[in-house]
Structure formats: structure tokens, C-alpha cells
A = this chain, B = another copy of it.
């Protein structure tokens, strides 16, 4: 029999929660997300009648090219097939070459750290570059998990609002957000949730701003370019990475978007080849132990073996673009105020009536699941994921049409 049992002692001393302050801070940042998931109520037992525009999750069977790659990856061809995998040489070399071609910059294999998705790459960048109390400037609206990752790391997210009409990057807002504790500025293009794709002019101006600000505070400000939607663009719009404009840029990438398979995690953090050698050497050396000490955040063996095969596998971007057209044009014709996305698989706009939570609840009652802007700290807006099927779109259009008058 145990010497102590459940009843023999107080739950904790002084009634304190056993959860650490940092985990509690992260939990506060994910509270809106958790509340939404709980209220949606369909994640464990998907409702076939639900028209789900919430997250970038698959709603059709996985891509055949992905299945083929995973099948081959699961078939061992050497003794060390499933041995410990860190950032392995072969996928690193392949990715450096692929990225060099894609961005016209000469990436080196040793500057590509393989991670279990972009989550892992972003976490790596934040831990590698910040200490508790350091500040990181993040775009708002923007991905809702930069802030919890920063809070868990003891770093402080500082919001820089995008232009509320055009959703352009607002350099004045970034400038105003920078303090002597600023360590990283985060940018995201194609941008979640607005679908904006930013061009080289803004990167040139941002590079100048960061150069001057770094000199002013006497400390190098790094740029994290969050590019998981890089290959999901519409209307032939070009992609430009700030890594070509500001040498102290780190790029994070995820295969979860282009494969629409976020449950098989593969991504990377890459250092701009323009970064001075001494800084790159220090960050290379720090990346391995940081990934080990964050919990061995390298991709699984199967995913590492699949890198080359996955290069040409992608969701049908033209089909996403076509779904964008149907939704954008229909909703706009009914009076919605939307951004026409140039990339990503999201559609962003003003919630009819101005209260996105109320609007989302009203739509949910009509079997349409949309994401309220509260998750993006923009409660008057909402986001739709274009990963919803054509059938879902057709079934949901009447609800959207009726919803145009919500709150009026």
C-alpha cells in the first residue's frame, strides 16, 4: 500500500496551482483557441453535415503523392532507417538546393535546420535568439500561436498592427514597437489571415528600418520570415522573401500547408546566406543543442526520408484559387467587406454586425463553422479557410447570404 494516498495531504500548499507561471501565461494566450475548439464541439467526432471553414485542415482524402512518399518512407532500406535523426545531411542538402533555386539565394546545407513543422522552427528561432524578458514584434492580425510560444519561452510578444484597411505592413507601427529589449521582428507573407503577399519594396524599407533600429539600440534585431504559405499564391503573383533584403533573416517553412497534412510534421529554419559568417556559425552551432534541449524537435525518420519525394507534391492551388473566387465574389456581391487574398488558403473580412463571436455562433447554428477574429485580436473580423470542399461551399452559401444582414 502506498504510504501516502489521495486523501492524506492538501492538494497543494497554500492552494496554489501546480502549473508554472510560464505555462499559465501560454494558456492565457491559447484560451480563445481552446474555447473555440470546445464550442465547435466536432473535432473528435466530425459531423458530416458541418461545413467547416475553421482551420487549415483537410476535408478530402490525403494527396496520393503524400501517401506514396510515406509508404516508401515506412519501408526500411538500411539498418539506421529509424535510428536517431537530427538534421540529416541528405535532406539538408536537398532543401538548401531547392530553396536556393526558389529564392535565388545561395543557401548552405548547414544553415538549414530540419524541424517538426513550422511550429518547431518558430520555437527554435525564439529560444535560440531570445532570453526571458526579451521582446518580439509580431503582426496583428496574425497567426494566433506566436504569442503562446513566446510566453512559454518567457519572451514578450509586442503587437504591431497592420494597416486596418489595406493590411499592409505598417513600418511606423513596427518602429514604434521596437525598444532596447527587441530581439526579433516577425513577418509573414503570404499572410495569415489576410492572404496579402508583400513585395520587395516593403522588405527594402523594413531592412533599412531594422538596420537603423539595431544601431540605435546597440543590438542586432533579427527578422523571422514565416513563409509556410510561400507556394500557395494566386493570379501569378510573385513571391519575395525578406531574406534577400535583410541579412539577419531566418526563414521558417512548413510542409503542412502545401501537403494539407498538418499531422505529419516537416519544416525547417534556414539562415539567410547574406548573414555574416560569424553570426551564421554561432547560430548553426546553437541550433543543434537548442533542438535537443527543446525535446528533440527534429522531424521523424519517415518524414526525413520523404523530403525529396515531397518536393513536387502539392494541393491543387488553382482549385483553392477557384474556391476563393466563388466565395469572394458571392460574399462581396451580398455586401461583405472582404480582402481579396493573393495567397494562403484563407479569406478575411469584416464580420456582419461587427461582433465576430456572435456572427460565428449564428453561422454555427446554420452548420457553418467560421473562425471569429477574436483569435487574431481583431474581434470585428472573421476568417474562412478555403480548404473547405466545393460541396461545403455550395451548402454554406445560403447561410452566408442570410448572414450578410446579421446584426443589421
Contact = CB atoms under 8 A, between A and B. Distances in A.
A171 interface: no
A402 interface: no
A76 B124 CA distance: 30
Interface stretch (A129-137, A186-194, A331-339): A129-137
Contact of A288 (B34, B57, B219, B289): B34
A326 interface: no
A274 B11 CA distance: 11
B289 A23 contact: yes
A83 interface: yes
Given A246-B4, A290-B152, A19 B67 contact: no
Interface string A114-135: 0111011011100111111010
A286 B22 CA distance: 10
Contacts of A293: 23, 26, 29-30, 145, 148-149, 151-152
Given A264-B301, A285-B27, A61 B83 contact: no
A130 B23 CA distance: 9
A58 B30 contact: no
Given A24-B286, A289-B26, A290-B152, A58 B83 contact: yes
Contact of A23 (B128, B152, B263, B278): B128
Nearest to A130: B20
A276 B2 contact: no
Nearest to A5: B274
A274 B7 CA distance: 9
Interface stretch (A204-212, A228-236, A343-351, A357-365): A204-212
B58 A80 contact: yes
A245 B20 CA distance: 24
Contacts of A264: 82, 300-302
A171 to B, nearest CB: 13
B247 A4 contact: yes
A154 B80 CA distance: 34
Contacts of A117: 295-296
Interface of A: 2-6, 9-14, 16-24, 26-27, 29-30, 34, 44, 46, 55, 57-62, 66-67, 70-71, 73-76, 79-85, 89, 115-117, 119-120, 122-124, 127-132, 134, 145, 148-149, 151-152, 154, 204, 207-208, 211, 214-215, 218-220, 222, 244-247, 259, 261-265, 274-279, 282-283, 285-286, 288-290, 292-297, 300-304
9 contacts: A6-B275, A29-B289, A71-B71, A71-B74, A82-B262, A116-B116, A263-B301, A263-B304, A294-B295
